[in-house]
Amino acid sequence: MYKIAVIPGDGTGPEQIREGLKVLDAARDRFGLALETVEYDLGGERYLRTGELLPPSVLEEIKLCDALYLGAIGHPDVKPGILEKGLLLQLRFDLDLYINLRPVKLYPGVEGPLKSKGPADIDFVVVRENTEGLYAGAGGFLRRGTPFEVAVQESVNTRFGVERCLRYAFDHCRTRRGRKKLTLCGKTNVLTYAFDLWERAFHEVGAEYPDIQRDYAHVDAICMWMIKNPEWFDVIVTDNMFGDIITDLGAMIQGGMGIAAGANLHPGRVSMFEPIGGSAPKYTGRGMINPLAAVCAAAMMLDYLGEAEAAKAVEQAVATVCREHLRSLNAGEMGYSTGEVGDLVAEYVL
């Protein structure tokens, strides 16, 4: 019996998660899985009502689950940073979800913005360090609000944190059916402390993986190559901030936020699965949002739980719906409503 905590969250999060759960139910029936879900109403509404973000008792309950399925966090009436830091990042930190795994894959039939590139060219994953870097919250203000104010925001890179991320990336590269090439995305020409550590650790750990080709590129160049030659990439490993930025770019070349999913992992422990896009409040309740990102996150969750066959079936169902049905992956341009897309995927889970 898998116990899954569900946080539908804000904006279009709940309507995306509803379709994800619909598809999970189909996978449960088809593969005879035992799934139990527990829903938590965390997010902007609850914060505005009660001031609570992530109550310690809820965190303790989540820790006893096998996985956490999250919709979206972000509310127009809550100042930016409060929900993000108090809930989403708090979950990543408190559960020590040190990997953010984000596949960038163009499914056949999906029209991406890169006209000369097809599914054979766009199929890589980004391994983003998820607990350190600029996200660690180190720094502060001096004389805030005066003409002499100073704001310092430091990037924290520990050998332990970097090394466990790199090991995951090398292992993932080894098991993935790719070209066995791991690209470190950094900025060794300017960030000469942080990425010096990353680069040394990369080659030291990499020596234990002679079957994996090691490659390096600066983050700005990565942005260029992701557009010009995405076929060069198999697995990209990088720090938290660069990983955040390049995965939005990655989402675009795979057809948009409508399909981009991510897994926040601590191998062996409760891990969190989410669409990588935001809460998209302007589409809330209109049945326009594409639920495929949430469905793909559910597939990653099944895979993480050890249900590889069910995960594959869901992914194939998504691919079929993209190929046979959807006009576009963008909200409101799919040719189907949010619920209809979920119905279609569920039907194809064979």
Where does this chain bind Mn ion (CB under 5 A)? 244
| Residue nearest Mn ion, Cβ-based | 244
| Residue nearest ligand IPM, Cβ-based | 84
CB of 172 to ligand IPM, least distance (A): 19
- The residue with tokens 């993986």 is 209
Contact (CB, 8 A) for 119 and 111: no
Can 193 be counted among the known catalytic residues? no
Strand order in the sheet with 35-39: 35-39, 2-9, 67-72, 271-275, 261-265, 99-105, 123-129, 235-238, 181-186, 213-218
Question: What gap in Å lies between CA 154 and CA 137, rounded to an integer?
Answer: 8
Contacted by 234, from ligand IPM, Mn ion, none: CB < 5 to 8 Å by type = none
Q: Decide: is 257 part of the binding site for ligand IPM (CB under 6 A).
A: no
Residue number, 97 or 276, with CB nearest to ligand IPM: 276
Which of 41, 94, 196, 220 does the annotation list as catalytic? 220
What is the amino acid identity at position 189?
N
Residue number, 125 or 276, with CB nearest to ligand IPM: 276
**Which residues are 67's β-sheet partners?**
4, 271
Q: Which of 177, 274, 183, 191 is nearest to 223 (CA)?
A: 183
Residue number, 13 or 291, with CB nearest to ligand IPM: 13
Q: Decide: is 19 part of the binding site for ligand IPM (CB under 6 A).
A: no
Contacted by 84, from ligand IPM, Mn ion, none: CB < 5 to 8 Å by type = ligand IPM
Question: What gap in Å lies between CA 243 and CA 222, rounded to an integer?
Answer: 11
Question: What gap in Å lies between CA 145 and CA 181, rounded to an integer?
Answer: 48
Residue number, 62 or 276, with CB nearest to ligand IPM: 276
Q: Decide: is 84 part of the binding site for ligand IPM (CB under 6 A).
A: yes
Among 53, 68, 88, 329, binds ligand IPM (CB under 6 A): 88
Question: What gap in Å lies between CA 182 and CA 170, rounded to an integer?
Answer: 7
Backbone angles phi, psi at 125, to 5 degrees: -130, 150
CB of 192 to ligand IPM, least distance (A): 24
Q: Decide: is 87 part of the binding site for ligand IPM (CB under 6 A).
A: no
Contact (CB, 8 A) for 47 and 83: yes
Question: What gap in Å lies between CA 92 and CA 88, rounded to an integer?
Answer: 6
Contact (CB, 8 A) for 255 and 110: yes
CB of 203 to ligand IPM, least distance (A): 27
Q: Which of 272, 303, 292, 287 is nearest to 23 (CA)?
A: 292
Contact (CB, 8 A) for 266 and 63: no
The total number of residues written for the chain in this structure? 350
Can 135 be counted among the known catalytic residues? yes
Stated as kind and residue range, the H or E segment containing 311 is helix 308-324
CB of 182 to Mn ion, least distance (A): 22
Can 244 be counted among the known catalytic residues? yes
Q: Decide: is 276 part of the binding site for ligand IPM (CB under 6 A).
A: yes
Residue number, 84 or 171, with CB nearest to ligand IPM: 84
Residue number, 137 or 306, with CB nearest to ligand IPM: 137
Which of 41, 94, 196, 248 does the annotation list as catalytic? 248
Q: Decide: is 244 part of the binding site for ligand IPM (CB under 6 A).
A: yes
Which of 187, 209, 303, 304 does the annotation list as catalytic? 187
Question: With CB under 6 A as the contact rule, which of the stretches 1-9, 27-35, 81-89, 253-261 interacts with ligand IPM?
Answer: 81-89
Quote the longest CA-to-CA distance of the chain.
65
Count residues near ligand IPM (CB under 6 A): 5
Q: Decide: is 90 part of the binding site for ligand IPM (CB under 6 A).
A: no
CB of 122 to Mn ion, least distance (A): 19
Backbone angles phi, psi at 322, to 5 degrees: -65, -45
Can 248 be counted among the known catalytic residues? yes
CB of 88 to ligand IPM, least distance (A): 5
| Gyration radius of the chain over CA positions | 20
Residues tagged active-site: 135, 187, 220, 244, 248
Task: Catalog residues that contact ligand IPM under the rule CB under 6 A.
Answer: 84, 88-89, 244, 276
